[in-house]
Amino acid sequence: MKEAMFYEKLEENAVRCHLCPHHCKINESKGGICGVRENRGGVLYSLVYGKVVARGIDPIEKKPFFHFHPGSEAHSIATVGCNFRCKNCQNFHISRMPKEGEKQIVGEDASPEEIVAAAKQYGCRTIAYTYTEPTIFFDFAYDTARLAHKEGIYNVFVSNGYITEEAIYTLAPYLDAINVDLKGSEDLYRKICGGHLQPVLDTIKLYKSLGVWVEVTTLVIPTLNDSEEDFRWIAEFVKSVGVDIPWHISQFYPAYKLLDIPPTPVTTLRKAREIGLDVGLRYVYEGNVPGEGGENTYCYQCGELLIRRYGFQILENKIRDSRCPSCGAKIDGMLGFTNKRS
């Protein structure tokens, strides 16, 4: 165990956690909503520091990041736990492990040094904190990210965006990119996720203002967030933060507690993409539907096909020096192919 960051001590050995917007008050011998921070003797501890439950080498496009060193690979890691309880979670067997069933904290022991060494050994340009919500293993991710930064390895979060300003300001100097899930309305957040919308919007804006590369993903769940009104307000919000932010619109598949809802029709994704482009976003992508054409990157100025993809594989990349070869428009993102940060 390791003493956790971002908490205050209260009376009678209670503590209040300030890592995420839940701001859990945690009494002696109890844990927070995430299930992986526990009060022992008036001290808040992380139960998952160095406890890696999942790791692998993934294409960066799988996260998904389409404008962050396309074609490169990421060393991906996760611990158990999450500060949401999404009814459609595809990784519920590890995200919900501390809160359901046997309520276990499991994982393979690993140090920040070992994670960074593994990334270097396998030629991964990036370490991705992903699979579950990286905010809940912030202490471990932060120590790993600082070390990776010194070694010239990039750091990316794949996150629900439910994190406090204090934690964002602490992490931002070492975080190169983040993909934030923007799920839908306040009603959806309350009923499906166990959280609130506004903190997620604030997170996207703050990371962008701090110079972290931001991409946004919306999983389109039929009947819950698939109306034209849903698509338009999300697209307009993303544009208000930056027209250069890529918006990934992903197909839903039945999972966990939402097994009675069918997969998202491709026509719905196509409509969402059309709305995003109509609103003025430069880059809008359809996810989880390989071969449909919505995965490609086009020049926002002349329409030239720049990156042709199939699933997570890049078939062709015409971008040179971050510019469109046809009209010279600068294509947004971190599109270089160097092995180290410049």
What does the pLDDT read at residue 339? 37
Which DSSP category does 320 fall into? B
**Domains in the chain: ranges and CATH:** 2-46 (no CATH), 51-317 (3.20.20.70)
What does the pLDDT read at residue 337? 53
64 upstream amide cis, omega within 30 of 0: yes
What does the pLDDT read at residue 341? 36
Longest CA–CA span in the chain (Å) reads 67
The vertex-33 CA angle with 29 and 39, nearest 5°, equals 20
Neighbour order of strands in the sheet with 37-40? 2-3, 43-46, 37-40
pLDDT-derived band of residue 291, with 50, 70 and 90 as boundaries?
Answer: confident
**pLDDT (average), residues 254-263:** 96
Q: Where are the beta strands (DSSP E) in 34-81?
A: 37-40, 43-46, 51-52, 54-59, 73-78
Q: Summarize pLDDT for 46-92 with one digit per residue, the tens.
A: 999 999 999 999 999 999 999 999 999 999 999 999 999 999 999 99
Q: Summarize pLDDT for 292-336 with one digit per residue, the tens.
A: 889 999 999 999 999 999 999 999 999 999 999 999 999 999 997
What does the pLDDT read at residue 154? 98
- Per the structure block, which two tokens stand in for 193? 């996720």
305 torsion bin: left (phi>0), alpha (psi -120 to 50), beta (else): beta
The vertex-138 CA angle with 136 and 141, nearest 5°, equals 125
Token match 């340009």: residue? 125
Is the pLDDT at 340 greater than 50, yes or no? no
Cα–Cα distances in Å, from 288 out to 71, 266, 291, 312? 18, 10, 10, 10
Share of the chain above pLDDT 70, in %: 98
Q: Summarize pLDDT for 182-205 with one digit per residue, the tens.
A: 999 999 999 999 999 999 999 999
Which residue in 189, 284, 184 sits closest to 234, CA to CA? 184
Q: Summarize pLDDT for 205-230 with one digit per residue, the tens.
A: 999 999 999 999 999 999 999 999 99
**CB neighbours of residue 146 within 10 Å:** 15
**pLDDT (average), residues 150-176:** 98
